[in-house]
Every structure is written in structure tokens, then in C-alpha cells.
Amino acid sequence: MIDAVGNPQSVLVMGGTSEIGLAVVEAFASDRPLRVVLAARKSDRLDAARARLEALGCAVETVEFDATAPETHTEVVRTAFAGGDIDVALVAFGLLGDNEVAWTDVDAAVELAQVNYTAAVSVGVALGKRMTEQGHGAIVALSSVAGERARRSNFVYGSTKAGMDAFYSGLTEALRPAGVHVTVVRPGFVHTRMTEGMSPAPLSTTPEAVAAIVVDAVRNRRELVWAPGPLRFVMSALRHVPRPLFRRLPV
């Protein structure tokens, strides 16, 4: 159960090796050790993630999860909930991909769409169902500013995040009567494995900073947050810039 001061007892990370996902778990665990379920493909990185959280006193379980196999997702979520209620579920998996490959190669484009959108939807449906049954809980979906307005430089990724973002924004409303709280998080450029070697955009941030925003959002039951916060104003301006001008902006 999430208690009166907003501490969860159990957290599920869909995409259990996600740096932002793990930073969120660590932020919650810094107040109090948790039961953590990491859903990811088996890998050394997953073992390392487990060890890192166990060192903080967390009890960690892992569940095999393949984002490209949506037909398995109901079962994956069921297994993740088998050990007891899940108080907070993070939807933290995703691929950035190479935009120039993705918009010219069918397989690459479909993979991005499947992982970032289709899987996010199937996982969201399964999580919503389980949390409705348990009568409480919070789902945190890691979206992206890239979904807010597609740019030439990463529009395939941006389009998948736009779809994912719209789905979870709708899920926020749909699950509200069931007592399940959904938060959509829109980070900007985050220094992670995913963005390694790329030149950082303005207002770039770190997984730890995003995690602090997520923890605050869960505690205060916020439905939409930006990371960092000022991106909200930058993006609401950019959203309305006319195309001929937008095209020329260095974004």
C-alpha cells in the first residue's frame, strides 16, 4: 500500500534495466526499502540492476519480459503481481533507434512502433486491469517531449511517443474512477545509455533528476509532469510555431 506520506511498499519496473526506472526505484528506496519487481529480458545488466537494488535493502524479483511479444504481456503482468499488490508500476521501456534508418527501413520502423507504442499499450491495458482489481495503485508512463511535436531529426521515435503519450493520457481518465492514478512523464534530453554520444539539447537532465520529479508526482498525485519542469513552457511555445519557421529552428 502507498502510505499517508506517499511511500510505496512495492514497485514494478516494466523495462527493468531502464536507467530512469532504476533511478526512480532508488529514489523511493532512499526513504525506505521496497519490494521491487524488475520485468526485462535476461541480461547482465538485469543482474547488475538487481544487485544494485539489493544493496539498498530492497527485495528484488525478476520477471522475463519481451516488449516485442505483446501476446505474452498479460501473463507477464500477472506473474509480476503474483507476489502481492503492486503499488507503483513504471512503464519505462523504449527504443530511440536511428531516425534515418527508421524512416527508410520497414523492419526498423516497425520495431520502434512495436516496442514504444504497441507494447506500451498492451502493458498499459494489463496493468490497468490488475490495478482496478486491487482498487489502488499508481502507473507512471515515461513519455517524451519528442511526442509533443515531431521534429525532422527524430520523428519516428517522436511519433511512437506521441501515440504512447495519448494512450496513457487517456488511461489517466479511464482509470481515475477505479482509484488508479496514472502519471505521464515527459522528459527532455536525459543523459543515459540511450543518448550516449549525442550532443545534449538545451535543458538536458539526468535520470536522478527525472526520478525526483516522478517521486514528487506520485506523492502529490500529479497527472502530467515535465522533466525538467520549465520544458512545459518551452514546448507549449514550440507547439505553436508555424511550420516554415519551426523547420529553421535548431531543435
Partner 1 sequence: MPNTSLRGWGRTAPTRAHVVPVRSAADVTAALASAGPRGVIARGLGRSYGDPAQNAGGTVLDMTGLDRIHSVDADSGRVVVDAGVSLDTLMRAALPFGLWLPVLPGTRQVTVGGAIGADIHGKAHHVVGSFGNHVESLDLVTADGRAHTLTPSDDLFWATVGGMGLTGIVVRAVLVLHHVETAYFTVDTEQIDNLDELMARQSVDDEKYAETVSWFDAVTTGDHAGRGLLMRANHATLDELPPKLRAHPLRFDAPQLLTVPDVFPPGLLNRFTGKLFSELWYRKSPTKLGAIQNITQFLHPLDVLGEWNRGYGPRGFLQYQFVVPLERGDVVRGVLDRMHAAGQVSALNVLKRFGEGNRAPLSFPRPGWTLCVDIPVNDGLGPLCDELDELVLDAGGRHYLAKESRTTPEAIRRGYPRLDEWRKVRDAADPTGVFTSDMSRRLELTS
State the residues that interact with partner 1 by CB under 8 A. 1-7, 9, 31-32, 84-85, 132-136, 178-179, 216, 219-220
Minimal distance, residue 183 CB to partner 1, in Å:
16
Task: Give the gyration radius of the chain's Cα atoms.
Answer: 17
| Rounded Cα gap, residues 230 and 249, in angstroms | 19
Q: Give whichever of 1 and 69 is closer to partner 1, judged by the CB atom.
A: 1
The active-site residue out of 65, 93, 117, 157 is 157
Tell me whether residue 168 is one of the annotated catalytic residues.
no
Run of H or E residues at 217: helix 207-219
CB of residue 139 to partner 1, shortest distance in Å? 15
**Angle between the 19-31 and 207-219 helix axes, to the nearest 10 degrees?**
60
Closest approach of partner 1 to the CB of residue 31, in Å: 5
> What are the strands of the beta sheet with 59-64, ordered from one edge?
59-64, 35-40, 10-14, 88-91, 138-142, 181-187, 224-227
Write down how long the chain is: 251
Helix axes 155-175, 119-134, angle to 10 degrees: 20
CB of 35 to partner 1, least distance (A): 11
Q: Which is nearer to partner 1, 9 or 74 (CB)?
A: 9
Catalytic residue IDs: 157
